[in-house]
Amino acid sequence: MMVFPEGFTAEDVGESDILELVEMIGEFFREQEQIEASYAPAGSWRETVTQSVGTYIGRPDAFVKIARCGQQAAGFVIYAVQAEPMMRLARQGVLHDLYVRPDYRGQGLGEALVRQAMWVLRHQEIDVITLNVLIRNEAAIRFWERFGFTPYVQRMKASGRNPDHAPKPARREW
């Protein structure tokens, strides 16, 4: 059993928790948007997230935990086991999302959620645990480094709408 800071608990998300979880995911998106504009939620984000979270519930390879302080939702973590049969490290644990509401930060809740997720994933016989973090989110990078995470790939983007950023086609001589 994992130890949580005094006054906090974490439990599997059930059907009755989904709306509360979706609200926190929206808060998470809005915070991420402050760092990276492309994380702005789309108009139909609530429906999409509600459906997505619903697909995780009850699966043996996916985990959604909601943390509470008393009856109040304080944060969540979403993680899963993912098969990558084309890679040598074929079973990966993926930490999809971690969020702690601002009023509950600095009390060890995020750390407890991560330790619980890593413990569960390691008992799923995974080869490696991965996650994504925004490159400009320096606080999050420092947080994850405390758990032994290190950069191993860089994901890049280019505008799909601005033709000035697209490479010019090679000129053909006929």
Give the C-alpha separation, 68 to 70, whole Å. 6
93, 121 contact by CB (below 8 A):
yes
Structure-model confidence comparison of residues 95 and 83, the more confident one? 95
Long-range contacts of the stretch 131-136 (C-beta < 8 A, 24+): 131/94, 131/95, 131/96, 134/32, 134/35, 134/36, 134/39, 136/35, 136/36
66, 82 contact by CB (below 8 A):
no
Task: Return the ∠ at Cα 108 (arms to 104 and 114), rounded to 5°.
Answer: 105
pLDDT digits (tens, 9 = 90+) for 146-168: 999 999 888 888 878 766 655 56
Q: What is the pLDDT of residue 171?
A: 63
Q: What is the pLDDT of residue 39?
A: 85
Structural domains of the chain ordered from first start: 8-149 (3.40.630.30)
Structure-model confidence comparison of residues 73 and 38, the more confident one? 73
pLDDT at 90 over 80: no
pLDDT digits (tens, 9 = 90+) for 119-156: 999 999 898 999 999 999 999 999 999 999 999 888 88
